Amino acid sequence: MAEEKKTTRKKIQAADTMNRIMADYFHDLNDAAVNGKRKVAWCTSVGPAELLRAMGYAVHFPENHAAMLGATRMSTDLIPAANAIGYSPDICSYLTADIGACLKGITPLSKAYKGIESVPKPDVLVYNTNQCRDVQDWMAWYSRKLGVPSVGVTSPRNVNEVTDAHIDDVSRQIEALVPTLEGITGNRLDIDRLREAVSLSRECTELWKKVLETATAVPAPLTFFDGTIHMGPAVVLRGTRQAIGYYEVLLAELEQRIRDGVGAVDDETCRIYWEGMPIWGRLRQHSELFLQLKTSVLASTYCSSWIFQAFDARDPFRSMAKAYLELFIVRSDAYKETYIKGMLEKFRIDGIVYHDAKTCPYNSNNRYGMPQRLEAETGVPALVISGDLNDLRCVSDEQTKTNVEAFIEQIMEGR
Amino acid sequence: MEFKSVKEIVDFCQELFDDIGFARAREWKAAQPGRKVIGYMPVYVPREIIHAAGMLPLGILGGGADMEVIHGDAYYQSYICRIPRSTIEMAVTGKLDFVDGMVFPSICDVIRNLSGIWMLLFKDRYVRYFDAPQNFKDDIGGVFYSNELREFREGLEKLAGREITDENLRNSIAVFNENRRWVNKVYDFRAAFPWKAPSAEVYLLMRAGMVLPVEEHTRLMQAYLSAAEAGKRRMRDNCRVVLTGVFCEQPPLNLIRSLEISGCYIVDDDFMLVNRWLLGDVPADGDPIGNLSRAFLHHSAQTAAKYEPDMAEKGRYLLDAIRARSADGVIFAAPSFCDPALLDQPMMISRLEALKIPYITMQYAENSGQMQPIREQSGTFADSIKLWSAS
């Protein structure tokens, strides 16, 4: 058993800047909804945010809100409210937590940001099922509850190679959204503004990629747990200059850490890849657990899912379609395996932790034999921990701790 | 094969149902050199194209209540329904070794990933993830779907080593039109005389359609209907329910029996939707791919497997079934961890509650063993309808 000692997580100085940017974003969103100056769109995380920004919408991301419910540990008390109206506890706990919060009239935004009383009321709901079909059902419930239209893109799935047929299908669907969205704002889409938003998203994505790739350094200057927080601007401010400005600051700090030989984990001895969703209500505990074991969880599929290299301002609709289709979650098992193998090599990984999230089959890739196949092919050992992204009733802290400790011990002994 | 009585037909269907080694389909394949069998999972694949290739479409609906799953659990973690575990068990234990190809429709993430496992495990077989659109506009989803159909056709042509002509397709469309008409006749008959066509029998009859050549299944339904119509069976004082949510992983046969024993006649259901997915005849002339595509886009069942963008329309299919079948209530039965059924349920429930239509919900797995709680729940539901319903 590893010896426990008091450890302190290293603060990333840019976090203060990020907190300011995020506060500005939420206040701006709130102003749009309260003052009615701009229309508000709710958009699923890899929905067509660039299009919405170009059309002047203030954009709220329900998954971001749901993750906040998880991180603030409010979700476990809210999920039963959604269960009571018929949503099974087996169903996506982002959905059940968020709908539960709506039913109870609660939001973490009101605690975090003075002057904000509720999530911004939407004028339109926009989804893309590239990540899962649940988002469509989630928006459908709000559509009914709030009396606003729900429109979106239903994506091909299980894509091995992204073909022209796939891109044609998705780009046609994105273009078909335009008349509805124009009808709501009363303004025509300015294609140059769309090109600009796509271009800004591309710039943001390039910087975010560089940020994550700083973790290829030994020791790694940031962890997965840092990444889940610092990805905030890449998620909610894609297509804006603020996000780009922030990642320039963050990247500079991390590069300085590399030059100084400073790792996020002191005396880093073990490097871990995290596959699956974070357990939002346990970020701190998990971060400290690995820290105590001198182990850096430094790369993940989750944080890397906000890298969209296909964005191209010259061909905005088709490049958006391509970017949304190239997402890991949309891809075939063969692609996913190749992708993870590449990540293991690139980040010099000693072991993989798979999070089997009870209510998120789409992000629980351990369920289909991948750990066994990848371990046989690469020799990199795997550990599966059971839990959930938001429903802490599915999380066993003691079991997680024991399993992780034994796993790291095994890796170290195997050297 | 000549059948005289309902019992003979039902015994035959039961035998097919119990045989998870698919002896009948193996015999079909062995009867002529070069024959090929294509397995498919729920909820819908255009079987016409498989038939047009001269191949046998074989419905794979899991391993059932009695098959022990040993290897399957090694492929899957806990939080997942049972059908993929038992299906992979069947594959790795040789029960599907005669199947030349598998088609996995885009019903949910589990089936999608099962297709991935299949591709990795059985590299020498034809494996297709059949991605059906959720956008039902001709110029968007229609273009995508037509392309899927063409790729499916080309894949089977390659496997068959021959062209699938438009004429082949038109003939197969006509054969399946005929089959669908008889499926609907059986459903209509059961709704009119549920005591003469118990749901467990109708279920077995439809399951037979998953393994028999379509022409044989049509004849079987014809024989069943004429035998059942002539039969004398006692009418029971049951309520009439629509059973919904059972379109993928199948409940044990005992669960279906238990519902009727406890006092609920099932007058409509969504078992084996592949039989009834398309709501009417597909035109058997003109462009067959275009016809199949348009039928899918505009004349197919509205279920949990399909997204209904118009909130006012959401649930209409279920409400229409309740009215058309004069049902007293609805039983929502969903397999544990079934994303499509469980996500759809609250939306459906809200429609029923607005109209004060009684309902109950239950969950099952294909190997659920305890039927007493089911009987108590559905029995109480039936009693409450009888005692307090306005009808």
Please answer yes or no on whether A141 and B76 come within 8 Å at the CB atom.
Answer: no
Distance CA A280, CA A68 (A): 8
Distance CA B226, CA A198 (A): 65
At a CB cut-off of 8 Å and minimum separation 6, what does A207 contact? Answer: A244, A247, A248, A251
B337 contacts on A by Cβ (under 8 Å):
90, 361
B342 contacts on A by Cβ (under 8 Å):
87-88, 90-91
Mutation target vs B (from A79, A88, A338; most B CBs, 10 A cutoff): A88
Please answer yes or no on whether A137 and B343 come within 8 Å at the CB atom.
Answer: yes
Confidence band (pLDDT; 50, 70, 90) for A7? low
Min distance A54 CA to chain B CA atoms (Å): 23
For A207-361, strand residue ranges (E) read 270-275, 295-300, 351-357
Q: Domain for residue A118, yes or no?
A: yes
Min distance B15 CA to chain A CA atoms (Å): 32
B306 contacts on A by Cβ (under 8 Å):
none
- DSSP string for B45-96: --HHHHHHTT-EEEE----TTT---SHHHHHS-SSS-SHHHHHHHHHHTTTT
Distance CA B79, CA B102 (A): 24
Q: What angle in degrees, to the nearest 10, is found between the helix axes of B372-388 and B253-261?
A: 30
Nearest beta carbon to residue A88 from set B75, B115, B342: B342
Q: What is the pLDDT of residue B390?
A: 58
Q: Is A315 exposed, middle or buried (0-12, 13-18, 19+ CB in 10 A)?
A: middle
In degrees and rounded to multiples of 5, residue A298 shows phi and psi of -120, -5
Please answer yes or no on whether A144 and B311 come within 8 Å at the CB atom.
Answer: yes
Classify residue A13 by its DSSP letter. Answer: T
Q: Domain for residue A8, yes or no?
A: no
Distance CA A273, CA A281 (A): 20
Query: What does the pLDDT average to over A87-100?
Result: 96
Q: Domain for residue A336, yes or no?
A: yes
Distance CA B377, CA B373 (A): 6
Q: What is the pLDDT of residue A415?
A: 83
Both tokens assigned to B34: 């070069």
Please answer yes or no on whether B75 and A90 come within 8 Å at the CB atom.
Answer: no
Query: What does the pLDDT average to over A296-300?
Result: 98
Q: What is the pLDDT of residue A4?
A: 52
pLDDT under 50 in chain B at which residues? none
Task: Indicate the range of A1-15, A18-32, A133-147, A355-369 predicted with least confidence.
Answer: A1-15
Q: What is the pLDDT of residue A70?
A: 97
Question: Alpha carbon of B45 to those of A128, A331, B141, B274: distances in Å?
Answer: 24, 21, 16, 7
B71 contacts on A by Cβ (under 8 Å):
none
Q: What is the pLDDT of residue B159?
A: 97
Query: What does the pLDDT average to over A350-367?
Result: 93
Question: Alpha carbon of A161 to those of A89, A331, B127: distances in Å?
Answer: 35, 8, 16
Its pTM surpasses 0.80: yes
The pLDDT of residue A14 is above 90:
yes
Angle (CA) B167-B169-B173 rounded to 5° is 120
The pLDDT of residue A6 is above 70:
no
For residue B43, cis peptide bond before it (omega within 30 degrees of 0):
yes
Query: What does the pLDDT average to over A32-48?
Result: 95
Please answer yes or no on whether B144 and A364 come within 8 Å at the CB atom.
Answer: no
Please answer yes or no on whether A364 and B77 come within 8 Å at the CB atom.
Answer: yes
In which domain, by residue range, is A150 found? 15-413
The pLDDT of residue A122 is above 50:
yes
A88 contacts on B by Cβ (under 8 Å):
334, 342, 345, 363
Helices (DSSP H) in A283-357: which residue ranges?
Answer: 283-292, 301-304, 316-325, 333-346
Q: Whose structure tokens read 């299919």?
A: B317
Query: What does the pLDDT average to over A135-156?
Result: 95
Query: What does the pLDDT average to over A370-391?
Result: 95
The pLDDT of residue A409 is above 60:
yes
Q: Whose structure tokens read 């659920």?
A: B368
DSSP 3-state of A375: helix
Amino acid present at B269: D
Q: Domain for residue A6, yes or no?
A: no
The pLDDT of residue A137 is above 80:
yes
Both tokens assigned to A70: 């998880």
Confidence band (pLDDT; 50, 70, 90) for A1? very low
Please answer yes or no on whether B307 and A151 come within 8 Å at the CB atom.
Answer: no
Q: What is the pLDDT of residue B388?
A: 82
Chain B residue closest in CA terms to A164 = B144
β-strand partners of A297? A272
Chain A residue closest in CA terms to B145 = A169
Q: What is the pLDDT of residue B79?
A: 82
Q: Could you give the number of structural domains in chain A?
A: 1
Confidence band (pLDDT; 50, 70, 90) for A21? very high
pLDDT digits (tens, 9 = 90+) for A151-177: 999 999 999 999 999 999 999 999 999
Classify residue A6 by its DSSP letter. Answer: -
B298 Cα distance to chain centroid: 20
Instruction: Decide if A344 contacts A273 (C-beta within 8 A).
Output: yes
Q: Is the ipTM of this complex over 0.85?
A: no
Please answer yes or no on whether B340 and A133 come within 8 Å at the CB atom.
Answer: yes
Query: What does the pLDDT average to over A116-140?
Result: 95
Instruction: Decide if A113 contacts A27 (C-beta within 8 A).
Output: yes
Q: What is the pLDDT of residue B341?
A: 94
Please answer yes or no on whether A333 and B117 come within 8 Å at the CB atom.
Answer: yes
At a CB cut-off of 8 Å and minimum separation 6, what does A400 contact? Answer: A282, A286, A289, A385, A387
Q: Domain for residue A7, yes or no?
A: no
Min distance B326 CA to chain A CA atoms (Å): 25
Query: What does the pLDDT average to over A31-53?
Result: 96
pLDDT digits (tens, 9 = 90+) for B84-119: 999 999 999 999 999 999 999 999 988 988 998 899
